[in-house]
Each structure stands twice: as structure tokens, then as C-alpha cells.
Structure 1
Amino acid sequence: MGRNYASKHGLDPDLFARAAALARMPDEFNSMSFLTEEEKIGLNLEATKKWHVPKKLFQVIALGSMAAAVQGMDETVINGAVLYYPKQLDIVKYKNEDLIEGLINGAPYLAASTIACWLSDWCNKKVGRKWVIFWTCVVSALTCIWQGLVNNWWHLFLARFFLGFGIGIKSATVPAYAAECVPRHIRGALVMLWQFFTAVGIMFGYVASLAFYKVPDRGIGEGLNWRLMVASACIPAFIVLFQIPFVPESPRWLMGNDRHGDAFESLVKLRHERIAAARDCFYQHVLLAEEHSYRGISTYKRLIEMFTIRRNRNGALGAWIVMFMQQFCGINVIAYYSSSIFVESGLGIRDSLLASWGFGMINFLFAIPAFYTIDTFGRRNLLLTTFPLMSLFLLITMCGFWIDQDTNPNGRIGLIAFGIYVYSCIYSCGEGPVPFTYSAEAFPLYIRDLGMGFATATCWFFNFILAFTWPRLRNAFTPQGAFGFYAAWNIVGFFLVLLFLPETKGLTLEELDEVFGVSLRKHAWYRLQEFSNNVNKHVLRRKVTPMEPLYEHEKRMAVTNPEWTEKTEVSHVE
């Protein structure tokens, strides 16, 4: 099969014959006599030293990381600017100034969710992954500069709306580009790198606010400080632009455009051994052939089947729950408005910007443990643990606003900062890394692109809702009521996860089909009983009978479970 593939596309038949055999059993290379000792050494290094990768692959990883930082910085440079631009652009004179402020801050996410996400697939097919990244960074850079040159609020709204095209398309393209270039053994870490370096970019957005807040106008117009803040996000975008010519195109995209020779040469640059490049080239060809078999299914039919087939519907619901709750847990309210929140707590502008930088630093540092927790504790367990804790610390933040500023200013500021900082720590280890990881696992192959489009649009749409509504919510509910509102949503999130979110950690494709094929009613009832048993066992210290596993693959494993062994023995004695 490998020989036929190579002959058809002008590649080395002998190399691909060996590569096809290796692709069938990639972990058994030491027992394959047709491999040379040098090839075995190279494959062993690849398997045992995950980050022993070629220079070109490091450049791809660096590109993806910097693009994620662009994303984070685009999102948070507005945080410091919001302290200044409403007054200087005369927004404060309008009756609905809070809605205008929210509309401006949320404009990129409105564009990303309603238009940009849906253009991503078309753009990628037309110009290729790396050039889509190039042009989205051009859009990001130019719109950031545009934001710094505006002279009225609707002009700023337009600039930020068009920034959403860079944000939305880039967020869908960069993870796909990186995943298609890297070997399978570090592919999962690349999803986490996107989240991690987005947190890095978020932190640098706060750094920019701190760096420019005291810049005087210097006779060239009002508000030079906030204009420099929003324009500074063009710097990492330009860095990405200059990286693009030095990285190869996605091999998978090249193969999808029938450029198999170019795809192989691209993989040769991204692997130490030619046999490894040929193995991955052949394997991607097989996967692509499977995808082509689905092309006869129309988009309309795939859309209908996303809702009418239980396995697809349950997977979609799970993805939408985690994407929705990533926003309604309240994290981006703090990411976009922390400077205003800290000013309202009683801090001055400089100290508020410094406190916001502290939030960004914590968000960045506590993204590091997520590399370990996501695959150790599982997606579902992380969310069930962190949602109640996030709710608790939002309530603590809420209580801080009830402390009188005149009689106990330090206590007020301290409790608010404590609640926000610990909340950020918990988010970064739990709900932060889960949504995109979970969504990538939730959809079967033939609707994955469509499903991820919906999931990403869900994320960006509710991101817009948060940014748009917070100023009005804060004014109508007071800060106490607004933080209490999102604390309540974290409790809602806990029960949504408890009842409707299956675990996906470490499951094969067949096991994922089985897990998402269980009816929601059966899953919810089982999890309620399990929750009740856990309360009785761990809180009330009562003896409970272990429940029968919910899934068939768990039943096959039950013989190795000590609790089930114990249950059988007790039943026999009775």
C-alpha cells in the first residue's frame, strides 16, 4: 500500500513501503528488521525524549506560541485603556454610556462569533494555514494601530470589530496548524501551549497598560497613554509576521491540495529521520482518505445529524457546556475590567494597573500546573472540583465590597484582591485548559470541523455577552450583586457538568462513541446516584454499596477493581 502510494505521487517506493509497515505498529520499531540501526536510534529518541525535535519544528512551536500571545494581548490591552477613553471620547455624556462602553470592549468577540469563525474554513482552504496566520496577524496589527488613531467612539468600535476577524480566524487556525506539524507524542501538549501562551499574552497586555499609563500627551492630541496601550498589541503581531517565511506549510494542508511531494518535504524538515517523515506522511494520507469518504455528506446533512444522532448530540452538548461555562464562570469580566474593579475597590490608577498585572501573572503561572492536571485528574473531575471553589472565592470578592472604604480601606482592598487572585489560580488549573481540549475530543471525525466551528462560536459569542453586559450589570446590581451573579453561575456549571458531561480522558475513539452514546437521562440519573453515594461515604461516613459501572468498557475493567472484588465476597458470605 505504501509502495503504491509513493509510486502514484512520485515518491520513493522502498522508503514508503517500510514507512507503511512502521505506521501500522509505530511503537514496535525495535523489532523491525527492515529498519537500519540509525533509524531505530532516531525513532527511539523521538519516543523517549519528547522535546528532541528539529530546529524547524521548534520554529513552528515558537510561531504558535507567539500567535497565542498576540491573542491574549489583543484581549487585555483594553483593560487599562477603559480607564481613560470613555471620558476622552465623550462617551460619558451619553445616557447609555455603560452599554456603549460594553459594546466597544466586546466588539472583537461579536465579529469573531458571528462572522470570523465561519470564514476560517474557507480562508484555510484558499490560502493555506501559515498564510492565514500571516494575514490574520496583519489584520491584528493594523487594527491595533487603527484603535490608537481614532477620534470618536464609533470609530473605536469599528476598529475593534475588525480586530475580531484577526482574533476569530487565528484562534481556529493556529492550533490546527501546530497539531498538523508536530509528532503525535507532543500533540496534546500543543493544545495546552495555546492556552498557556494566551495567558502570557494576557499578562503582557497588563504590562503595556502599566508601561504607558503615565505617558503625557506631548501636544499631539488627547489620550496618548491609552492610545499607546491599545496600539502596543501590534508588536507581537509583527513578530509573528516575520516568522512566517521561515516555517513550512502544514503537511496535511498540502496533501489536501494534492501536493504530496511538497507535504513529504515539509515533514522532512519537521522530523529528524526521513523514515519518520515518510511514516507520518503515509499515516496522514490514510486519515485524509477517510475524511474524503465523508465529503459526499452535505454540510446540511452533517448539521442535521449533529442534533438527530444521540452520540453527536451528546458530544455537542458537552462541548457547548464547557465553552459556555468558560465565559459564564466570570473570568473574562476580570480579564477585561480588572483595572476598573480595583479602582472601585479603592485603589488609585497606578495601583489598580499593578493589581491587574498581578492577576495576569497569576493566570500565567497557574496555567503551568494544567499541563499535569488535565491528563492526571481528568476533565470532568477538574471541573467538578474547581466550579464550587470559584463560586466561593467570587462570593469572598463580593463580600469585600461590603467593607466600608472610609473605615477599613486596607481590609476592603485586601479581601477583594485575595478573592480575585485565588479565583484566578483555581480557574487556570481547571476551567481554563479544559474547554478546547474537551471539544476536540467530543465530536466524531466527520462533523469535527462543523462541531468545532459551533463550539468556538459559542465561546466567542458569550465572551461578547460578558464584555458587553458587565458595565450595565455592575451599575444595576452593584459590584456585590454582579459578582454574586457569576458566583451563582459557577454553581449552575457544577450541576451541568455533574449531570451532562461524560469523562473523555484517555479514551479511544470507540470508547468515546460508547460514552457519548449513553442517553442523557440515564447519565444524569447515574451521576445523581453517584453524587449521593459520595456524600454518604465521604461526608456522612456511611457505608455504601459500590455502583455498577455505567459504561461497557468500565464493566470489562471491573474485575481489577478492589471494590468490586469486595462486593462479590460480601454477597457470597451473605
Structure 2
Amino acid sequence: MDETVVNGAQLFYKDKFGIGTDSQRDTWLLGLVNSAPYLCCAVLGCWLTDPMNKKFGRRGTIFISCIISAVACFHQAFTNTWWHMFIARFYLGLGIGPKSATTPIFAAECSPPKLRGALVMQWQMWTAFGIMMGYMADLAFYFVPDHGISMGLNWRLMMGSAMIPAVIVCCLAFLCPESPRWYLSKDRHQDAFAALCRLRFEKVQAARDLFYTHTLLEAEKQAMSGIKKGNRFKELFTVRRNRNAAIASSGLMFMQQFCGVNIIAYYSSAVFQDAGFSDVSALAASLGFGVINWLFAIPALYTIDTFGRRNLLLTTFPLMSLFLFFTGFSFWIPEDSKAHIGCIALGIYLFGMVYSPGEGPVPFTYSAEAYPLYIRPIGMSLATATTWFFNFVLSITWPSMVTAFKPQGAFGWYAGWNIIGFLFTLFLVPETKEKTLEELDHVFDVPLKKLVRYGADQSLWFFHRGKNGKGMRPTAPSADMYHGDAVRMGDVAGNMGPPAGQGERKKRWNKEREREGGIMGRGDAAGRV
């Protein structure tokens, strides 16, 4: 909601603050004011995630960040200059940053593997709902008279209304159980068991998952025993398993911005105005995009855990590129033609339909599950700082870009980035669906050249399959379960499985795993232990 109330409010405050012309100075200042929260997220807010999580836990971090967000939204409603609005919105980033990094982690740590994608993507799905609510607030307050309020009342109500959801979350945060993994990291085993009893259907399931998580933490303690304190950020890039996760998650977070969605979220009203819409019609058309953005995220609740994260991206990136080209080129249609407005709106709506089940929910879900537990808050800080920094870049540059390149070139620029996103996903993003957080060690501990080769083989297989319906589907690469380092970061299998070369013991261990899997349920994390 913070992201989109500014969409309608800027139609008013940019003139009130004296930055409403098409001059280079004013376009850059408008972009700077709108992008201020994301600058703060990138340089400061997201990096508070790790210390806040250590001190206050997952729930406490969310509670504190929502208080900050509520106060900042209220502050925005009382500003009278562009630089005062910049300060208020910059302060808002201190709330958005830790919250955006912590909430997906919280969901991932509380979810069973088979439903983790659907539960973690709730962050993005209800972000889309908040985007829709922001457009609704813009329309609801558009006709509010000034009543003698300096510089107007309607845009102040738009900006201040975004504090309402933050207050609601503050009231609800401590009704949720804390992350059991966080309790275990503090040696609070009884609290962890109580939390798991609320998160699982039976106590035996809670006890089973508690044992599995405890085993993981013990393995990580062994792995970290020879590491100097304070070197965890360095390990994001020096340990192959962490480095691959950082490349994939940060790349997807980058593409979540450079796919072009937030030029529509933040500036759709201005885009529709340029297309010939009146102010009210532009806000109504923006609301239509918000409704589509939310409704079309709902199918991803099923597809993200069945069709898979990677397949969703490979399917939607080419379509997003196509629809952005269509939108930009529609500005060449003569303005006196009804097709001019219709095609621009259609392109934006079609883009929203394919963004919402793909690049919308996948990056935050993927980033929350990609890292091992001991480094997860830092990894998520890096991922969210990446998305918010490029959100800042996109927000501050769009007004000047659309002036310099015209809408055709500006939309075409981001359409081209979607093609790059498709290639990045094909070659560097492994699938993570239906695997426990611990099994993902084997997914990411693979040399990059094997991931690239798999992407090339998969594309060739797809081409030959379409041509003659033949060919064997390539198998995704995975680190050898028995030949990894004995104490590789969080590698439970490496610690509990038999060592390489002991074939008879390995067979017996596999049979034991199958027997346990039959008792506890196929694909069940504790069954594998």
C-alpha cells in the first residue's frame, strides 16, 4: 500500500511542492522523492535484519518494523516541501527493509516442505493485495475537498491511509507462534516444541520436526567451529553452496525490478494520463491493474509447488517481454483512435496477468529458502537489499527515461531485460520445489558449469521434443549425497549418511530411509532422517 498510494498522491503534491514540470530538475526530484524508501532499504533498512532478528526474533522484528512504517506514513501526511517528504519516505525504508526480509524467512521456517512455496508466497500475494488497496485509497480520496488545509487534503489522506495495515499487523504479530528454528538457535527447546505443536497437527509430528531441526543446527555448529566470528558475510561468496544461492536469489531479486512491474505500480496513473486518460479514469485504470495483480497471484498458490519455481519463470519471462513491447509500441497508434487507449491498457493488464504468478511470488519465496540456516538472515538481507536498490534505480530514473526515450523506448528497455531474465533463469537458477531446506544443500552445492550445461541440455531437449516428440529429458544436477564434506554447511545427510566407499552400509542406510519414509510419509523431512 505504501508503494501505490504515492501513485495517486503525486498527481497533486508534485505541483504543490513545485516539482511538477517536465524539466530535468523536476523529473529527477520527483523520482528521488518517490524512490526514497527503497534507497533507505538498500543502504540501511535491509541490513538491520540480522541484528534485529538476533535480538528480537522474527515476530519482534516484524512488530518493530510495522511501528516504524505506521509512524512514517503518518508523517508523510504532514509534509509541506519536497525535501520534507523525502525525509519522511526515507524513514519509511527503515520499516520496509527488515519486514520484507524477515516475513518470508519466518514463513519458510514454519512451513512443511510440500507447502512451503504456497505459504512463503503469501508475502508477495498480499503485497499485491496492498497494491490494490493503495489504488482504492487513491480513488476514494480523490474528490475530498481541501477544507482550508495548506496544499490540499486529499493527497495527505492518501499517504496517511497506508498506516492502517501496519497498525493491524502490530496488533496481530504476537498472536503468531515464533519460529521454532529461532528458538532452537537460542537453546530454548521447550519454547520451540510449544511453537511446533501449534504449527503441526499432531505432537508426534512436532517432536519429529524438532529433532530434525536440532540435528541440522548441531551439524552447522560443527561446520562453523573453525570459522572466525564475523566472517559469515564473507562466506556468502567463498563457500560454493552459499555463492550459488546468492547468485540465483540476488539475480531473481534484480529481475523482479527490471522486469518493469514497478514502473506500472508507481507511475501507471501518469502512464495512463500520457495515453489520454483523465485523472479519475487513470486512477480507475490503475485500480484495474491492481485487481489483476492480486487475482492472478492466486493460481500460483498451486503451481509454485507443483509446476515449480523455475518453470514458472521460464514460462512467464518471454510473455512479460512480449506484452511490454506491445504496450510501448501501442503509443505509436494515433491518439485520436480508440485503439490507442485500448491497446495500452490491454498491454499493461496482460503484463500483470503473467507477472503475478511468476516473477511476482517466486523471488521472495526462492530467496527465503535458498540459504542455509546459519547464514539465512544475512543472505536474505543481501537479496532484499538488491531488490530495493534496483527499485530505487527504477523509480528515480523512470520520469527522466520516459521523457528522453518516449514511452516506446522506455517500455522496450524493460522488455529487453525480460529476455535476459529468461536466459539467467535457464542457466543459473536450479529448482527448489518439494525439497526440505536441508536438502537444498545438495541442489546448490553444484559447480556453475554443470548448471549452465543443464540449462543448455534442457533447451535442446525442448527444441527436439517440439520438433519430433523424441529425446530423453535431462536430469537436474545435484551434489553427491555421500561425497560432500562431512560438515558442509548444514549438510545433515553428509553427517548422518554413511561415508563413501562403504557400499553395504550405504545400501542398508537406503533401505532404512525407505522404511522410515513409508511410515512417516513420502517426502517427509523427518522420514528421511
Q: Does the residue aligned with 2:356 lie in a helix, a strand or coil?
A: helix
Residue 551 (1) aligns with residue 480 (2): no
**Equivalent in 83, 102, 119 of residue 173 of structure 1:** 102
- Counterpart of 2:408, as a letter, is Q
Deviations 1:306-325 (A, max 9, x none): 32343332222111221111
Which residue of structure 2 aligns with residue 380 of structure 1? 310
Q: Which residues in structure 2 correspond to 1:391-410 (within 5 Å)? A: 391-405=321-335, 407-408=336-337, 410=338
Residue 289 (1) aligns with residue 218 (2): yes
**Equivalent in 268, 276, 284 of residue 338 of structure 1:** 268
Residue 204 (1) aligns with residue 133 (2): yes
Deviation at 1:144, TM superposition (A): 0.4
Partner Cα distance (1:304, 1:244) in 2: 33
Identity %: 55
Partner Cα distance (1:528, 1:324) in 2: 23
Change (3 A) 1:240 1:263: same
Which residue of structure 2 aligns with residue 528 of structure 1? 456
Deviations 1:379-428 (A, max 9, x none): 222212111111111111012111121x21x2111000100001100011
Which residue of structure 1 aligns with residue 67 of structure 2? 138
Partner Cα distance (1:75, 1:479) in 2: 21
Which residue of structure 2 aligns with residue 55 of structure 1? none
Deviation at 1:279, TM superposition (A): 4.3
- Counterpart of 1:124, as a letter, is N
Change (3 A) 1:267 1:340: same
Q: Does the residue aligned with 1:90 lie in a helix, a strand or coil?
A: coil
Q: Which residues in structure 2 correspond to 1:450-465 (within 5 Å)? A: 450-465=378-393
Partner Cα distance (1:110, 1:101) in 2: 14
Partner Cα distance (2:426, 2:418) in 1: 12
- Counterpart of 2:96, as a letter, is I
Deviations 1:37-88 (A, max 9, x none): xxxxxxxxxxxxxxxxxxxxxxxxxxxxxxxxxxxx1221111112111101
Change (3 A) 1:363 1:512: same
- Counterpart of 1:477, as a letter, is F
Change (3 A) 1:142 1:519: same
Q: Which residues in structure 2 correspond to 1:102-121 (within 5 Å)? A: 102-121=31-50
**What TM-score do you get using the length of structure 2 for normalisation?**
0.83
Deviation at 1:545, TM superposition (A): 5.0
Partner Cα distance (2:465, 2:321) in 1: 24
Q: Which residues in structure 2 correspond to 1:119-198 (within 5 Å)? A: 119-181=48-110, 186-198=115-127
Which residue of structure 2 aligns with residue 421 of structure 1? 349
Q: Which moved more, 1:238-247 or 1:193-202?
A: 238-247
Q: Which has the larger radius of gyration?
A: 1
Deviations 1:127-179 (A, max 9, x none): 23323222211111111011010010010001000101111111122233344
Partner Cα distance (2:168, 2:471) in 1: 59
Paired positions, count: 478
Which residue of structure 1 aligns with residue 407 of structure 2? 479
Partner Cα distance (2:202, 2:452) in 1: 49
Residue 495 (1) aligns with residue 423 (2): yes
Which residue of structure 2 aligns with residue 558 of structure 1? none
Deviation at 1:200, TM superposition (A): 0.8
Which residue of structure 2 aligns with residue 357 of structure 1? 287
Deviations 1:502-540 (A, max 9, x none): 2333346686444434433343345335424533441xx
Deviation at 1:482, TM superposition (A): 0.3
Does structure 1 conserve the Cα–Cα contact (< 8 Å) formed by 2:67 and 2:170? yes
- Counterpart of 1:333, as a letter, is I
Q: Does the residue aligned with 1:347 lie in a helix, a strand or coil?
A: coil
Residue 80 (1) aligns with residue 8 (2): yes
- Counterpart of 1:192, as a letter, is M
Does structure 1 conserve the Cα–Cα contact (< 8 Å) formed by 2:68 and 2:95? yes
Change (3 A) 1:91 1:212: same
Partner Cα distance (1:252, 1:133) in 2: 16
Deviations 1:484-511 (A, max 9, x none): 1011111111122222222333346686
Partner Cα distance (2:470, 2:212) in 1: 48
Structure 1 stretches lacking a partner, 5+ long? 1-72, 555-574
Change (3 A) 1:131 1:371: same
Q: Does the residue aligned with 1:84 lie in a helix, a strand or coil?
A: helix
Partner Cα distance (2:174, 2:464) in 1: 61
Deviations 1:100-127 (A, max 9, x none): 1111111111111111111111112222
Q: What is the aligned-residue RMSD (CA, Å)? A: 2.6
Q: Which residues in structure 2 correspond to 1:23-34 (within 5 Å)? A: none
Q: Which moved more, 1:357-366 or 1:315-324?
A: 315-324
Deviations 1:271-291 (A, max 9, x none): 565545544444444444344
- Counterpart of 1:208, as a letter, is A
Which residue of structure 2 aligns with residue 569 of structure 1? none
Change (3 A) 1:508 1:250: closer
Partner Cα distance (2:204, 2:450) in 1: 48
**Equivalent in 303, 307, 310 of residue 237 of structure 2:** 307
Change (3 A) 1:251 1:441: closer
- Counterpart of 2:397, as a letter, is T
Change (3 A) 1:524 1:359: same
Q: Does the residue aligned with 1:167 lie in a helix, a strand or coil?
A: helix
Deviation at 1:373, TM superposition (A): 1.5
Structure 2 stretches lacking a partner, 5+ long? 481-529
Deviations 1:158-206 (A, max 9, x none): 1000101111111122233344455666544320211211111111011
Does structure 2 conserve the Cα–Cα contact (< 8 Å) formed by 1:511 and 1:553? no
**What TM-score do you get using the length of structure 1 for normalisation?**
0.77
Q: Does the residue aligned with 1:239 lie in a helix, a strand or coil?
A: helix
Partner Cα distance (2:392, 2:402) in 1: 16
Partner Cα distance (2:462, 2:173) in 1: 52
Partner Cα distance (2:55, 2:34) in 1: 31
- Counterpart of 2:477, as a letter, is Y
Which residue of structure 2 aligns with residue 241 of structure 1? 170
Q: Does the residue aligned with 1:401 lie in a helix, a strand or coil?
A: helix
Does structure 2 conserve the Cα–Cα contact (< 8 Å) formed by 1:210 and 1:353? yes
